[in-house]
């Protein structure tokens, strides 16, 4: 009468577990090593930089300063004068579709593929 777990519950659990593992693997496989860094400031494109060239980019706007460091095929927000410092604490990123956002200063750093990608090629 109080048999709580049924065979259908076990089957449902296994199916959900396998589905979760499959989605995790697909998500991890979809992010490849990036080749470029796209930076936007105040919603406008600021610049595109290669991940393979070590450099520091300083963005001064609206009385705020952000420093972005590209080093060893990774990028990080190395300095920001915002109060919460979440963007600085995010650390380094290097995979496509990863991003760092400084909301108070309106800076977005996004990793993209190194070469142009085409959805389809036609003659």
Q: In what order do the strands lie in the sheet with 99-102?
A: 44-50, 36-41, 107-112, 99-102
Residue-level pLDDT at 39: 95
CB contact at 8 A, 66 and 79: yes
**Reported pTM:** 0.67
Instruction: Report the pLDDT value the prediction gives residue 114, as an integer from 0 to 100.
Output: 54
pLDDT tens sequence for the chain (123 residues): 456 778 888 888 888 988 888 887 776 665 677 789 999 999 899 999 999 999 999 999 989 999 999 999 999 999 999 999 999 999 999 888 889 999 999 999 999 885 544 445 555
The pLDDT value recorded for residue 31 is 62
Domains of the chain: 36-112 (2.60.320.10)
Whose structure tokens read 């396998």?
A: 18
């Amino acid at each position: 009468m109080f048999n709580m777990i049924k065979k259908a519950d076990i089957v449902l659990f296994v199916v959900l577990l396998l589905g979760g593992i499959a989605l995790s693997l697909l998500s991890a496989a979809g992010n490849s090593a990036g080749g470029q860094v796209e930076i936007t400031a105040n919603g406008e494109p600021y610049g595109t930089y290669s991940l393979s060239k070590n450099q520091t980019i300083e963005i001064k706007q609206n009385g705020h300063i952000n420093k972005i460091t590209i080093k060893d095929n990774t990028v990080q927000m190395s300095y920001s004068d915002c109060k919460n410092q979440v963007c600085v604490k995010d650390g380094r990123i290097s995979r496509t579709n990863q991003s760092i956002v400084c909301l108070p200063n309106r800076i977005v750093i996004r990793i993209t593929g190194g070469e142009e990608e085409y959805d389809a090629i036609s003659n």
